[in-house]
Each structure stands twice: as C-alpha cells, then as structure tokens.
A and B are shown apart, each in its own frame.
Chain A
C-alpha cells in the first residue's frame, strides 16, 4: 500500500470535523472524495499531505512520495509558464518539463507571463506542475475548478497515465471525471459527533 489512513480524526480551527476515517490506496489506484461543502475534505487532504497534524489516528505514507495541489496553484504572475514549471521541477530535483507542457497543451503559452493567462489556463499550468514533481501520490483538492470540458478530459487522461505508471491519486471533486476505475469515498457518514459536555470540560473541545 502506498497510503494507509487508519481511524483518522481531524479538526479545523480546533473543532473536530471528521472522525473514524480509514482507507488505503495502492499503486495504480485512484480515490475520489465526495461530501457536502464544509464537511472537511480540504482539511483531510491537508492532513494527508502532512500540512497539519491529525487529532487522532494515523496517516502512513512516505512524505517524499506525495505531492499536494490545493485551491491555489502557486503560480507567479510575473514569471512565464516555462519559468514557473522550471522552478517547481528544480525544487523537486527534476529537469525535464516538456512532458508536462505537452500533457496540458501549454506549448503555445510557454513564453507568456503566467499573469496573462486565463483562469482555466492557469489551472492547467497548476496541474502540469504535478507532472514535473515526479512524485507517485497526487493529493488534489478540487483540481477541475475553472477547467472547460476539453481540459477536464486532458486532466483525466493525465491521471490515467499516472496510474498506469504505478502512481496513485486522492482527489476531492464534485464533478464526474470519467475515471470509471476510481473508488468513490463519501466522507459524509464520518462527520464528527459533538463531544460530551463532560469531556468538554476537561479539554475545551
């Protein structure tokens, strides 16, 4: 298994949101997280990515095998598309960005400053970043926001190619990506129950 989550409880702003969550993700597998807004999908992904500690439970993953993409793409508007990608490639110890540019057909935009891109184009650049990192587990938070139909297909193809190479992906999304092989996990049933008043006096929470 590449990623094992055991009996995980997580909190946002000191308030428990999800509890008792367990799942595994192996090579070549994708998992789509679903659930209503505010349920804690972003918090879950950030916890898996190691950005915040869990309340309880465990996330077993090699941190060096994981790459996280959040709501914002981390794109510098004054740098060109190539410069943006080059930076992230170097930060992750890689050099070749041509595959990433091809996968999201950024070729015609390569020399443009990222600030001059449309929202969807920026998103494509943000997703292309995943390819240059060379990491096996993609942890993606709403990756398809502001993408058009073609770009969503492009993204689905990239995910599929990644899985075929033995990668894995954990994706929170509302739309249908057309990834029939992906498992779907509805986090709704794991909503945290409010603590007893008794516990509460002890620990505030």
Chain B
C-alpha cells in the first residue's frame, strides 16, 4: 500500500503535469474572476470564499481522469487487481495520492489567492480549514467517478457530468463555512456537516469505487 502511494506520488512529481496543472488552473480562474465581475473590492471580498471554493473544486476535477487512466492504459490496473492489495485499499490509496498531489497544494495556495480577491482577514483561517476539511471528500468522490469511467473513450467529459452533482453537498457546506467565517458568524454547523460528509465518504465510498473498478476490469 505504501509502495503504491509512494509510486503514485513519484509519478505525479516526475510527469510534472499532475502537480502543477491543477495549481495553475486554480490561479488562472481566480485571476479571471475580477475581469468578469469588475474590480470593486467590496464585491470581490464578498464573493471571495465562494470563488475560491469553486476554483479549488474545478482544479480538483481537472486531474481526476488521471487517477486510473494511465494505470488502465499500461495494464498496471490488471496487475494490481491480481496483486495481494485489496481493491478497496487500492482505490483508497489512489484517492489519498490524488489528494496529496492536488488537494493539499490547493489548500496551501488558497490563502495566497485570497489576497488577490480581498478576502476579509477573518476569513483566511476558516477558508483554509474548510478546504483542508473538504478537499479529501472531493478526491474520494472523484475517485469513484474516475473508477466509473475508467475504460471509456471520451470519459473525461462524462466524468465531470457524473461527479459534479455529487460535489453539491461538499461545495455547499464548505463554501458556507468559509463564507460564515469571513463574515464573522458562527461556523460550527457547516463545519460539523462538512466533516461528517468527508468522514462518511472516506469510510464508505471506497467500497463502491472498488466494486465499480472490478466491473470495469472484467
């Protein structure tokens, strides 16, 4: 398992794309928003938590199809399936590797981008916390979507169509937490709900992903 994790991270670092692409995309989305809505700082600081959450979500989405596609193409997935690693473990490790190479960098860079959007000072801590809490769920749900579409031609578009509706609850609670934090309200409820979703998906969804992957491999 640890071998698989280190291999996946090493692959992401060496191929280059996996690491930098999501981050650059996040940066570009955030830079483009003021061009779209105007430069007024009052408006920007009001929508900053939502924009940062949405940008992180889209950046996460961008790299989902790489979770299984490469291993599928070169036959590694067949070999992994017949190895001693349980399928549930494989999908969990894949999700973890995706989070470490995509989600975690997004969390770390979000406060910096918050400056660009005039995020209120109170919001930085809660924005970062909400992303740190929510992005693992995005990776796990995305892994499920990637497992569903693994063997398909033109799977990327379908993957977005399948995964985005599943992202709704995470986005709602995550962005709500960041917004309440920025406006200085109590964040307990969305924080608990967001944590609940993350824990629930991490605990249960790998079983669905593993089942789906087994179907796709036969």
Q: Which A residues form the contact surface with B (CB < 8 A)?
A: 46, 49-53, 63-64, 66-76, 78-79, 83, 86-88, 90-93, 129, 133
Report how many A-B pairs have Cβ atoms within 8 Å: 71
Contact A76 B74 (CB under 8 A): yes
Query: In the complex, how many angstroms separate the beta carbon of B91 from the nearest chain A beta carbon?
Result: 15
Q: Which of A53, A74, A92, A93 contacts B74 (CB 8 A)?
A: A74
Assembly CA distance A10 to B79 (angstroms): 21
Q: B165 contacts the other chain (Cβ, under 8 Å)? A: no
Cross-chain contact of A51 among B14, B15, B82 (Cβ < 8 A): B82
Indicate if the CB atoms of B74 and A75 lie closer than 8 Å.
Answer: yes
Q: Using a CB–CB distance below 8 Å, which chain B residues touch chain A?
A: 2-4, 7, 10-11, 14-15, 71, 73-85, 217-218
Indicate if the CB atoms of A91 and B82 lie closer than 8 Å: no
- Taking A66-B82, A76-B11 as given, write out 15 further A-B residue pairs in contact, using a Cβ cutoff of 8 Å, ordered by the A residue number: A46-B78, A52-B218, A53-B218, A63-B82, A69-B79, A70-B78, A74-B71, A75-B74, A79-B11, A79-B14, A87-B3, A88-B79, A90-B3, A91-B80, A91-B84
Asked if A46 contacts B3 (CB within 8 A), the reply is: no
- Residues of A close to B74: CB separation below 8 A: 72-76
Chain A: minimal CB distance from B170 (Å): 31
Q: List the B side residues contacting A74 at CB < 8 Å.
A: 71, 74-80
How far does the alpha carbon of A71 sit from the alpha carbon of B73 in the complex, in Å? 11
Bound complex: CA of A83 vs CA of B10, how far in Å?
10
